[in-house]
A = this chain, B = another copy of it.
C-alpha cells in the first residue's frame, strides 16, 4: 500500500535535540532558528501562501546535506529543499513541521570542461552565473527563466524550468547530464553521468522536475552550448490575435526554429509602455510578436527575411528588427518587464502557467477573454508562443476580501481550458503547492498512482517535500478525494 505523506502531530516535535544535532554538523551559523530570521523563508515566489518554518539549515557540502537528511529520518521530521525561493508554484513553501534545507551556501562551480562542453555546479549556483563563467570562451547555459539573475540551478532542476529560449534549445531536463543526489533516507547516489546517453533507467530524467519530492541534488552536471555567431530580434505588430498566431504556426511550419518567439497582447503592451516606456511597442496593436533568430550570420539574414515575409503575409502592420546588442535589448525590454509592469498597473497580479498545442492559440485566447469578462478581471497575456506556453496575468486587488479565491478560481478555469484542448496545467513553473488540485484534471487515477509508486521508491517515509505535486484530500477537496480514497484502500501491485 502507498504510504501517506508524513503528517506529524506538530505540537509533539521537540526541536531542541534535532537543532543540537544540526549545529553539530553545520555549526551555529549553519542553523537558522530565530523567528525573525526564519521569516525570510516563509514563502517562495508564490506569495499568496506563507508559513514560517520551525528551523532552516544551510549546508555547504553533499555530506552535510546527507547528515541533515539522516537526522530528519532519525526524528521522522519532513524536510523541504529551497534554492533562491523564486519558484512560482510554492514548491519550496515550508510547513510548520518541516526542516527547510536552504542551498544558498552551496554556490561553487566545481568544474568547467569547455572541451566536452559541460560544467559541474552545486545547487545554489545562480542560473546566470553559469553563462557568466563560460561566456568569455564563447559558451552559454541555455535555459533562461525570467528570474535567471537570482534563481538557483537546484531550483531549476526541481521545477524543470524553461525560459524564452526553450523553444529551440529545450527546458532544463535537456541540459542536465548527471546528478549527485541525497535520497530521502540520506544515502548518496549518482544518476546519469558525464555523457548524454547512459544505459539503465533514465533516473536523471525522473528527478528533474520532481520538485524536491525524490531527494536533493547536490552536484549537477550541465551541458553548455557554443554561443551563436549572430542574433537578430524582430518585432511584428498585428491587429488581430489570429494573425499573430497564424504567423507563429507558419514560421514553425516553414522549418524555422527561432531562438525565442514571444507574444504579448494589448493589455500587456500598454502595461509595459506605461511602466518602462520602450517606445517600441505600438499601443494600438492587438498583439505583438517578438522573434529572436540565432545562428550563422548568413542563416540569420535569410531567416530574418523569411520571418518578416511570413508576418507581413499574415497581416503584420510593421516589422522592426535589431541585430546589435543594444537595440535587441531595447526590443526585449518590455517583454522582460511584463510581470513587473503588471505589478505597477494593478495592486496585485496572479501569474498562471499553462500549455496548449500551438494551433489552439486563437481559440484559447478568445476563451481567456471570456473568462476575463465573466470574472470581471483584466487579464494580460504574455507568453512563449512558439511552444504554446501561456502566462496569463490576472490583475486584481488582494486587499479586497475574497478576491484571491475568485482569482484562483478564474486561474483554475484557464488551466481546465488548457487541458481541454490537449495541453498541460504547467509549462515551466511546476505544480508545487499551488496546482496539485488540478492534477486529476490532467491525469487518470492510475497515471497518478503510478507516479506515486515511483515517489514511494525514493521517498518511502514521505519525508521529502510532503504535500507537493500530488493532490491531498485536506487541501484539494472533492477533486482529490477520489484519488485519496484509492491510495488509502487499494494495493495495486
Contacts and interface: CB of A to CB of B under 8 A. Distances in A.
Nearest to A225: B255
State the majority secondary structure of interface residues on A: loop
Contact of A355 (B185, B190, B197, B254): B197
Contact of A388 (B160, B187, B195, B202): B195
Contacts of A439: 199-200
B299 A189 contact: no
A108 B303 CA distance: 37
A209 interface: yes
A388, A424, A426, A469: most-surrounded residue (chain B CB, <10 A):
A424
B359 A116 contact: yes
A426 B195 CA distance: 11
A200 B194 CA distance: 25
Contacts of A194: 357, 422
A454 B189 contact: no
Contact of A358 (B116, B162, B298, B422): B116
A199 B442 contact: yes
A357 B422 contact: no
Interface in A37-79: none
Interface of A: 115-117, 138, 160, 162, 171, 173-174, 183, 185, 187-191, 193-203, 205-206, 208-210, 214, 226-229, 249, 252-255, 295-296, 298-299, 301-303, 355-359, 387-389, 422-428, 430-431, 435, 439, 442-444, 446-448, 450-451, 453-458, 460, 469, 492-493
Nearest to A389: B197
A228 B255 CA distance: 7
- The 6 tightest CB contacts between A and B, nearest first, are A205-B205, A226-B255, A298-B298, A299-B299, A460-B493, A199-B426
Given A117-B252, A450-B457, 11 more contacts: A138-B255, A191-B447, A193-B422, A195-B356, A197-B355, A197-B389, A201-B214, A202-B202, A203-B451, A206-B454, A299-B299
19 contacts: A115-B253, A115-B358, A171-B197, A173-B202, A173-B205, A195-B356, A195-B422, A197-B424, A199-B424, A199-B442, A200-B447, A201-B206, A201-B214, A202-B205, A202-B206, A203-B451, A229-B255, A456-B457, A457-B457
Nearest to A198: B424
A201 B457 contact: no
B199 A210 contact: no
A214 B453 CA distance: 13
